[in-house]
Amino acid sequence: MKLQHKINKNTIAGSQEFLDNHSEYQEYIPEIIVKTLDELRLIKIKEVHSKYKEIISNALELYSELEKSTFQSQEDEWIRWNTDNTISTTIIDVLATARGIDRLVLLDKIGNNVLSRITLVGEQQAKEDEINACTTETEINNITI
């Protein structure tokens, strides 16, 4: 989304960069509302959060509420097992038995899901870092989400 500038006979809403590049409006406009770079960054970061929330929501739609209620326990067991593969994985063992699959297959599936989610978090944080490094409105506008 490109950041928009609202122009009418009473107000210009835009960044200082916009106003610096369009001084012809200043003599006609009695009030100038300027968004700071921090405000523009925050708007873009909210777009990033919204996009990644949508990605996770879409992925979670594939699962029932009952199944989702076990995700944290599965993740906790996988993390402990990934650190020490000799520990007991009671919840995962019961799930694997009920599904008729080997526990190692289920552990692999759970691990892939955990790592995929962590990767998404890393991608989101990288976008936030990119936005926070911007020094102009144009740079912020050029970031695709």
For range 91-107, the mean pLDDT: 97
Q: How many domains does the chain have?
A: 2
Asked whether residue 12 falls in the same domain as residue 66, the answer is no
**Residue 131 to residue 100: CA distance in whole angstroms:** 47
Can you give the pTM of this predicted structure? 0.70
The reported pLDDT for the residue numbered 11 is 47
In the chain the beta strands, taken as DSSP E runs, fall at 6-7, 11-15, 31-35
31 and 53 both lie in a single domain: no
In tens, the pLDDT along 5-55 reads 454 444 445 556 666 677 776 665 555 566 889 999 999 999 999 999 999
Please tell me the predicted confidence (pLDDT) of residue 21. 75
- Per the prediction, the chain carries an average pLDDT of 87
User: Are 82 and 71 found together in one domain?
Assistant: yes
Can you give the pLDDT at residue 2?
Answer: 45
Domain identity same for 4 and 71: no
* Domain assignment of residue 6, given as a range: 1-35
For the chain, helix, strand, coil in percent to 5 are: 65, 10, 25
Residues 10 and 55 in one domain: no
Say whether both 104 and 54 belong to one domain.
yes
Residue type, 10: N
